[in-house]
Amino acid sequence: MNSNYQHSDLTDQILKSFYKVYNTLGYGFLEKVYENAMHIELTKMGMSCVRQQPIDVFYDGQKVGLYYADLVINGFVIVELKAAEGLVPEHEAQLTNYLRATNIEVGLLLNFGRTPQHKRKVFSNNRK
């Protein structure tokens, strides 16, 4: 299977939830509001949705930090939420780092800005 399409059915469902939440709430709220709304919507769709999943970061075999992923869906997709004017390279790097630090290979970056935006990232385990 081409890794770019890995979990595409799941990410399609997450994107449907994203646009439903965006169309209902619009823009201008804090990320936490969107995180809570996404959790409600994804759970209604029967998905396992973990908020603020801790992710350990290691350097040279030693733990050097801890990050929290906004949402982890069905254990297969990390969702990073933003409520910014627009997505910037730093947002993408953050998601890529989360993928690099876990066994999860697929991530979605969702921005609840003036215009809704999303990006899908894949970081294969064989590259970790």
The CATH number of the domain where 41 resides is what?
Answer: 3.90.320.10
79 domain residue, yes or no: yes
16 domain residue, yes or no: yes
3 domain residue, yes or no: no
56 domain residue, yes or no: yes
pTM: 0.89
Q: Which domain holds residue 15?
A: 8-122
Number of domains in the chain: 1
48 domain residue, yes or no: yes
Q: Kindly state the percentage of the chain with pLDDT values over 90.
A: 75
Q: Which residue has the tokens 């069905």?
A: 74
Question: Is residue 124 within 8 Å of 106, Cβ to Cβ?
Answer: no
Q: What is the pLDDT of residue 92?
A: 95
Q: What is the pLDDT of residue 58?
A: 81
Q: What is the dihedral of CA 36, 22, 4, 42, to 10 degrees?
A: 40
pLDDT digits (tens, 9 = 90+) for 67-118: 899 999 999 999 999 999 999 999 999 999 989 888 899 999 999 999 999 9
128 domain residue, yes or no: no
